[in-house]
Structure 1
């Protein structure tokens, strides 16, 4: 079976506001206030917790060497409590997923979000059952951009590892697909959408209703 594997944050769902709120919990706890802006820093949020913490601490003069590892756990705890307060699926995402399944593709998720958090978020959003696989940052010994992360998501979705494509929103997703030798489709509607063309993916996705046709073009009919 051919498969379509999706990134989660910034691809299927806009999780940026809840991620930034969790990072700001860390900064406020240290007496630094809310160092990240939900709008201006959304792109950094979708690159992960450590990227947010690094950016925030870089804005504080004279703070010293930040404890990124320790604060990362604080961030995860805060995020777990309010994981779906602002998060929404992107328009048309689930319709596209169902259309792909009707065409015979397997669908799954490969995310660098910890697996437990990803499971919880998808269940709260009511969409976990639509995906045959979910491989998170801590599911394997490796994560994206290691191609095995993508391959395992494809296998768990009932597919053949080499017969897949990756839908994502970052250079990490592009590099994962390139390392795997499979096509990448990068979305342009996220916070960093204007930068996606420069990554030279096999396709750009402006709206989810176009995804099934793009997948068919890149992979052939399933």
Structure 2
């Protein structure tokens, strides 16, 4: 395909572990939250594999890991505290993965619409992307709170595509977890997973169409997948 032939396509990206390495800020906020209970800190290597199901689930998994058993009310309170800690310095240690900006430039130059499909809250997603000067690339940013059924439900993926002005049959999902793969598969779209993301168990085990080693390969991969699924 030549330049411009992605004009009728939409590429949806997961956020944490796909576009941006957010784990350092998430573990900072998590450990500040654990301090409220006098609990031991979580390690970055551990937290990387807990990301992708929302803030409350992260708190649940982290506290369970150290043997704590909190009521739903207390978990809600800790989740609120975590979000406050996180939002206060949301991009202090976070950065786009290598090659992300060039890949977004290439996709946009070839006419693709770009969207974010994330289980992060929409307001936090927008705050993070604004802080990293990435919001300008995306026609839609759709967090878990913006749909009735979040990933892995296909409704979330379809909403991210349609709100960007696209159609699912001409779309590709880029992610790093089973939720990303399941959402795209259920919607009938091809899916790419990044090898460097937060998946627990390895990217090759997720069942994606392609595992991406570096973002410089993304644009031709999307063209190839869209041709194969047309």
TM-score (norm 1): 0.92
Report if aligned partners of 2:171, 2:190 keep a CA contact under 8 Å in 1: yes
- The equivalent residue for 1:167 is 174
CA distance in 2, matches of 1:27, 1:103: 46
Q: CA deviation at 1:82?
A: 1.3
Distance 1:135 1:64, change over 3 A: closer
- RMSD value, Cα: 1.9
Q: CA deviation at 1:206?
A: 0.3
Does structure 1 residue 11 correspond to structure 2 residue 18?
yes
Distance 1:55 1:162, change over 3 A: same
3-state SS in 2 of match to 1:167: strand
Report if aligned partners of 2:63, 2:69 keep a CA contact under 8 Å in 1: no
Distance 1:64 1:91, change over 3 A: closer
Q: CA deviation at 1:47?
A: 4.3
Q: CA deviation at 1:190?
A: 2.2
CA distance in 2, matches of 1:64, 1:167: 35
3-state SS in 1 of match to 2:70: coil
CA distance in 2, matches of 1:59, 1:186: 27
1:65 maps to which of 47, 67, 70: 70
- The equivalent residue for 1:37 is 43
Report if aligned partners of 2:108, 2:137 keep a CA contact under 8 Å in 1: no
Does structure 1 residue 49 correspond to structure 2 residue 85?
no
- The equivalent residue for 1:28 is 35
Distance 1:47 1:206, change over 3 A: farther
Unaligned runs of 5+ in 2: 1-7
Report if aligned partners of 1:174, 1:201 keep a CA contact under 8 Å in 2: yes
CA distance in 1, matches of 2:226, 2:65: 45
- The equivalent residue for 1:127 is 134
Distance 1:68 1:161, change over 3 A: same
CA distance in 2, matches of 1:86, 1:48: 19
3-state SS in 1 of match to 2:83: helix
CA distance in 1, matches of 2:70, 2:52: 24
Report if aligned partners of 1:19, 1:49 keep a CA contact under 8 Å in 2: no
3-state SS in 2 of match to 1:39: helix
Alignment of 1:90-169 (within 5 A): 90-169=97-176
CA distance in 2, matches of 1:121, 1:170: 20
3-state SS in 1 of match to 2:182: helix
Unaligned runs of 5+ in 1: none
How many residue pairs are counted as aligned between the two chains?
Answer: 220
